[in-house]
Amino acid sequence: MPKLLLGVSGGIAAYKALEFVRLATERGHSVRVIQTPSSKRFVGSASFAALTGAPVLTSEWERDPLRGAFPGEPLPQHDPASHLALVSSADLYLIAPASANTIAKLAGGLADNLLLSAALAADCPLLLAPAMNHRMLGHAATQANLALLRERGVSIIDPDSGRLATHGEYGAGRLAAPAALLEACEAALRTADGAWAGRRVLVTAGGTREAIDAVRFIGNRSSGRMGFAVAAAAADRGAQVTVIAANVALERDPRITVIDVESAEQLAAACERQAPSADVIVMCAAVADFRPTTTHDGKISRSDVDRLAVEFEPTEDILASLAAARRPGQTLVGFAAEHGPQGLERARDKLARKQVDLIAFNDIADPSIGFDARENEVILITAAGEQQLAKAPKQEIAEQLLDAIENLAA
């Protein structure tokens, strides 16, 4: 029986937490509840106690009659510290609603109530479901706090949009529906014990742009779809995912930290910062092999020149640099977007030359699987052999790629 710890902070949306508890217990989950003092102004502890069959705690100083146990468990022989015992027994800790104040305190590492103390002591997955006025949600401080918590591995369940508590106001900030909260919790529970749970995955996506002048650049047609699909698949499996996105205009996944870059130089610098902490690196981005040796500060005008000659110089070989610097146990995957009949041989050579674990080769001569296409067809090349992935949506290709990466360590 999965054990869910629910933290309820102050806000009108606290009443929805009662419905979450009802749904969770009906699904067979064992639930304990921690409330902040201010949340009791909206929902009394007796309501949660009736639904869970367990006492509700508010303060570190009050004794827990169940001694940190969940309903149905035997009572420990001693009285443990409540802020440690409850969360150490839990399989998952959900804070819903999470007020702007609670989010700010968590981002700052404060622990001035039981709900926050338990969050700092949590070894289990920690999920936050923000709920507040749309102006508070949109404030730069709140957004920065949420971004920081995501970077630390906290899962954020985005609020819904619609009518808000204040009369006549509409916008983002409504607590996600109780059924959606439970779905997010169960998804987190499914991935928490998987092979990817807690692994740090770094993905590059998109295509770099190398400036000619203040207006023009040389670039490529990569949309970032493949990289974003790999990142989403890794997040689905419980990984902590960071994407370095080069000029990607796709919708962002709130579970994933995105670092936006433009040029090959910026992408290389971001990789250098992020790669040391990554367990798996998947280099999907189409990185320019060359850049203009000189970038004009302003715009080159047609009236100023009869002919324009642009001289190029090589960019850094980012994949080779990462391979040379990688630590033991780190998995490194490259993509080879080649063109024409000799492409597979070049991809095989890339595997050996770059000293990586896997190369994913696709022939962009086929426009249906080329840049910005929604499908791909890939050959996975490793030292042990090759695997053909038939033409499929990029999401399916991403899942098969992660399976292959997982098998590398098997």
Sign of the alpha-carbon torsion through 47, 53, 59, 61:
positive
Q: Using CA atoms of 264, 265, 266, 269 in order, give the dihedral in degrees to the nearest 10.
A: 120
Cα–Cα distance for residue pair 32/124, rounded to 1 Å: 15
Question: SS3 of 32, please?
Answer: strand
**Which stretches within 29-173 are classed as H helix?**
45-52, 82-89, 100-108, 114-120, 134-138, 140-151
The single-letter DSSP state of residue 153 is: T
CB within 8 A of 371, min separation 6: which ones? 207, 220, 221, 222, 223, 286, 337, 364
The reply to whether 145 belongs to the active site is: no
Catalytic pick among 113, 145, 220, 376 = 220
Closest CA to 106 of 187, 9, 216, 16: 9
Written as one letter, the residue type at 378 is: V
The single-letter DSSP state of residue 2 is: -
Cα–Cα distance for residue pair 186/223, rounded to 1 Å: 32
Greatest CA span in the chain, whole angstroms? 89
10: phi then psi, degrees, rounded to nearest 5:
-70, 130
Cα–Cα distance for residue pair 303/300, rounded to 1 Å: 9
Laid out side by side, the sheet with 200-206 consists of 257-261, 240-246, 200-206, 280-283, 331-338, 358-363, 375-382, 385-393
> Active-site residues: which are they?
220
